[in-house]
Structure 1
Amino acid sequence: MGRIVVEVMPKPEILDPQGKAVMGSLPRIGLTGFTAVRQGRRFELAVEGPVTQEHLDAAAQAASTLLSNPIIEDVVSICPLEED
């Protein structure tokens, strides 16, 4: 069974309150040196057999029409998940 990972992130000009909350919490737990945090979403799509170009094309269509809101989000990655 193959899997495809689709990653969706807020567009740079869109406010990210969850990322901002994480950024504010990092110094409180002693983690410094980070300058920004953006929180996105990750989807894993399973397919029968190995991932083909047709699967990737279908994942791209799903990403642009269902998995993301193109007004406020960018699809930043669509790739097969390497199996161990």
Structure 2
Amino acid sequence: MSANAHGHTTAAWTGVTVSFLGFMLAGVAMVMPSPVLVAVGLVLSAAGAVVGKLMSAAGFGKKPAAHPVSVTKETVTSGASV
């Protein structure tokens, strides 16, 4: 996974951080009975995906490859002569 830099972008880190903070808020709000804060935390955790996608669209995501890799077929022959 590390070869393709999956998730190593500012957009990915920000989206995950926002989602994590939302889950933390919702978890704490469940312990101290506060349905409003639970809802706010869940909305915040869902907003993390939107934030990550928007930041990726703004140029903070993974850059597209400059030159796509092309696969060529090589002819395989046996060493025997006819």
TM-score w.r.t. the length of structure 2 is 0.29
Instruction: Flag the structure with higher helix content.
Output: 2
Per the normalisation by structure 1, the TM-score is 0.28
Structure with more strand by fraction: 1
Greater gyration radius: 2
